[in-house]
Amino acid sequence: MPRFEYKARNISGVMVTGALEAASADVVAGDLFGQNITPIEIKQVAGLKVKKPEDDLTTVEKINMFLAGKKVPINELIVFARQMQSLTRAGLPLDRALNGLQASLKNPLFKSVLQDVLKGLESGQDLAAALGRHPKIFSPLFLSLVSVGENTGRLDMAFEQVGKYLELEKNTRKQIKTATRYPIFVLLTIAVALAVITVFVIPAFADTFRRLQAELPLETRILIAISDFVIAWWPFMIGGTLALVLAVRTWIRTKDGRLTWDRRKMQLPLAGTLFEQIALARFARAFAMILKAGVPIVHGMSVVAGAVGNAWISKNILGMQDGVTRGESLYRTAQNSGMFTPLVLQMLSVGEESGTIDDLMAEVAEFYDAEVEYNLKRLSEAIEPILIMIIAGMVLVLALGVFLPIWDLSSAANR
């Protein structure tokens, strides 16, 4: 696990320094806030090279892991959370529970991860720290809830909350895939059709027109020129497209690129509002869960910032965290962030006054979930006429560019 050195001030304003092992700098900051210590600087320091869990796999298991991909599906995490809930509620020791679970797993990566978690427990780490050795699989929210469950002696409730959160996350992803499956299929079909027409159909008609030495309309000449260009330069076009996609993906992986992209995609027509509402639903749901688990608000915001899946909104959440740390009310910091609707701000204000922020944030999550579902349906309805117009435009271009000269030639031949 990475090691971080920090400089901070305690509740008396005295400068303190130290080092912690954690999954990320945000987790370190959350731990410090939970101890009433305000971090000033957190930096990762070089440590010993940690042996990867897949290093212990056999060759066949490594091949299976490569074919399956280096990710643990959300379905398996949901099953894991539910099984851990049942086993911990039954009072089974953690090492026995994890031993039984990893022996029954078919996913080689997840199996090796749980074996590594077992080694962490055997070396004296608590469960949250052992799971934190794999931040790509277990999210900050997952780790925070497990940590609270360990400290309060209610791991079963912690895993129950984790399972509910993952189930809702799975449903959100399923809704997005359902809404985008049809448009993507249609666009791919159109792209294949255009490629076939450009490479095979138009050149055949062009040869016929050249042999007949017919005068061609402007539309047909443009189509033939485009076809000739694509046939002559297709390797460079494919290479340039791949290079552009790779460059954009590399830029998005950078800190500034991710921040800019996550901000700009919320301004896209049709889908921008949807991206924003999905991130805010995740924020409200995660915030409600950590408050119900008893995590302090300041610490909880650091955890939630890593769970929303949007760097721009995460930055705003951390800004809210700074405001709360300075003594501002949650309502005021939320209002200054500019992320929430007046209805949500009013619910935050009421929740803060009545001490029921967790319940009202759960209602906010349900509100945004309903908005996401409604807007996904609207997105599908809005995209369909656009796709119909694209198909109609393609047919019109073909009619004017290919069939019109054929009709002219037929008319000329009958005279």
115 vs 37, residue with greater confidence: 115
Q: How many CB atoms lie within 10 A of CB 181?
A: 11
**Upper half-sphere CA count for residue 353 (Cβ side, 13 Å):** 7
| pLDDT at residue 98 tops 60 | yes
DSSP 23: S
Q: How many CB atoms lie within 10 A of CB 51?
A: 10
CA distances, 330 to each of 154, 278, 303, 326 (Å): 28, 21, 16, 11
Q: Domain extents for the chain?
A: 3-45, 54-138, 165-415
Reduced to 3 states (helix: H, G, I; strand: E, B; else coil), residue 7 is strand
12-50 confidence digits (pLDDT tens): 667 778 777 776 676 677 677 667 777 777 887 754 444
Angle at 175 between CA 246 and CA 245, to 5 degrees: 5
Enter the pTM of the model: 0.69
- Please tell me the CATH code under which domain 165-415 is placed: 1.20.81.30
342-357 confidence digits (pLDDT tens): 888 888 889 888 888 8
- What percent of the chain has pLDDT above 90? 6
| pLDDT at residue 375 tops 80 | yes
Reduced to 3 states (helix: H, G, I; strand: E, B; else coil), residue 170 is helix
Q: Are strands 38-45 and 3-9 parallel, antiparallel or unpaired?
A: antiparallel
234-274 confidence digits (pLDDT tens): 899 999 999 999 999 999 989 889 889 989 988 888 788 88
Per the CB < 8 A criterion, the answer to whether 277 and 372 are in contact is yes
